[in-house]
Chains A and B, each alone.
Chain A
Amino acid sequence: AARSFYERQAVNIQRMVYGAEDHERANDSADSGDEDDLFKVWSCWAPMRLDIKRPALEISDSSRPDVLLTVAHDWSQPEVLASIRDRFVTGKWDASSDAATLLRHHEA
Chain B
Amino acid sequence: MSSAKGSAVASKSKTLTFEGTSSFRQRIVFSVLSGRPVRFVKIRPDADSPGLTDYEVTFLRLIDTITNGTHISINETGTAAYLRPGTITNGRKLQFDCGSSRAIGYYLEFLLCLAPFGKAPLHIFLSGITNDNQDPSVDIIRTVGLPVLKRFGVEDGLELKVIRRGLRPNGGGEIMFQCPHVRQIKPVRCVELGKIKRIRGLVYTTRVAPSTGHRVVDACRGVLNKFIPDVYLYTDHYSGAEAGKSPGYGISLVAETSDKCNLSMELAADKGQLPEDLGTQAAHLLFEEIARGGCFDTFSQTIVFTLMALGPEDVSKVRVGKLSPFSIQLLRDLRSFFQLTFKLKPEAATKTLLVSGMGVGYTNIHKKLQ
Contacts and interface: CB of A to CB of B under 8 A. Distances in A.
Nearest to B341: A18
B128 to A, nearest CB: 15
Interface string A17-61: 111000011011111111101110010010001010110111011
A91 B227 CA distance: 8
B156 to A, nearest CB: 26
A102 to B, nearest CB: 13
Given A42-B41, A88-B228, A53 B288 contact: no
B344 interface: yes
Given A19-B332, A75-B287, A83-B291, A32 B227 contact: no
Contact of B24 (A13, A24, A32, A61): A61
A34 B284 contact: no
A90 B227 contact: yes
A67 B321 CA distance: 13
A65 B325 contact: yes
Contacts of A63: 109, 135-136, 298-299, 301-302, 324, 326-327
Contacts of B291: 73, 83-84
A103 interface: no
Contact of B227 (A9, A24, A64, A85): A85
B15 interface: yes
A81 interface: yes
Interface residues of A, number: 57
A71 B80 contact: no
Given A33-B3, A34-B3, A84-B290, A24 B302 contact: no
A39 B353 contact: no
B80 A57 contact: no
Nearest to A58: B22
A33 B12 CA distance: 11
B14 A69 contact: no
B348 interface: yes
A16 B271 CA distance: 39
A62 interface: yes
A3 B347 CA distance: 10
10 contacts: A2-B348, A10-B344, A10-B346, A13-B353, A14-B344, A27-B17, A27-B18, A38-B41, A81-B227, A87-B293
Given A42-B41, A65-B326, A84-B290, 12 more contacts: A18-B331, A24-B336, A30-B14, A32-B6, A33-B9, A38-B39, A38-B80, A45-B17, A62-B326, A63-B135, A65-B324, A75-B283
